[in-house]
């Protein structure tokens, strides 16, 4: 007699979302610009301005204000928690246990809150500093940060869903 157990794929989908969120967070934290404007580009790490006199870009450190440093810190902390969640999820999947799914979901929710805070803080403070000074638009780096947060929300939902089979295991006679 062979025992067949039906397993719901929610933790596996959640792990996939966690890995995707981690990769997107790394890309958002990388040197991709978060804001583009006519004559400057701003990432989390550097501010580049086009100098009209020499027609070249001049870059300086962008971490000059506390809100930019806090944005980086919150995004990094969210990334670290996301990686911990992914490693814990991988460990529980390999072990065949669902005991930590709620903990992983709760940690993913904390990472969501950290990243949401960072993204909203960045947008509000940036707009507050540069109101009507020049035309600007939020760039790929900022959008990728939002993508990471959306995948984290999905991961949290999948880890909170019931992954146990609803019926008792079926026995098949060979």
d(CA 70, CA 15): 28
Domain 8-33+66-162, CATH number (from 1.10.760.10, 1.20.140.150, 3.30.1370.60, 3.30.1510.10): 1.20.140.150
**pLDDT tens digits, one per residue of 82-91:** 999 999 999 9
- Report domain extents, the chain: 8-33+66-162
Q: What is the pTM of this model?
A: 0.84
Question: Are the C-beta atoms of residues 164 and 5 closer than 8 Å to each other?
Answer: no
Tell me which of 155 and 60 has the higher pLDDT: 155
**pLDDT tens digits, one per residue of 22-47:** 999 999 999 788 888 888 888 888 88
Mean pLDDT for 49-57 is 80
């Amino acid at each position: 007699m062979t025992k067949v157990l039906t397993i719901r794929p929610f933790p596996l989908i959640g792990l996939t979302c966690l890995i995707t969120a981690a990769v997107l967070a790394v890309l958002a934290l990388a040197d991709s610009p978060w804001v583009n404007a006519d004559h400057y580009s701003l990432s989390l790490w550097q501010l580049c301005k086009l100098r009209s006199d020499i027609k070249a870009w001049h870059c300086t450190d962008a971490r000059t204000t506390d809100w930019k440093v806090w944005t980086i810190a919150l995004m990094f902390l969210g990334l670290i928690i996301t990686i911990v969640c992914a490693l814990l999820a991988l460990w529980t999947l390999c072990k065949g246990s669902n005991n930590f799914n709620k903990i992983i979901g709760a940690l993913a929710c904390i990472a969501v809150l950290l990243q949401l805070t960072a993204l909203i803080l960045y947008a509000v403070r940036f707009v507050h500093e540069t109101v009507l000074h020049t035309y600007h638009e939020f760039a790929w780096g900022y959008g990728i940060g939002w993508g990471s947060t959306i995948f984290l929300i999905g991961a949290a939902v999948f880890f909170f869903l019931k992954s146990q089979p609803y019926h008792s295991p079926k026995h098949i006679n060979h």
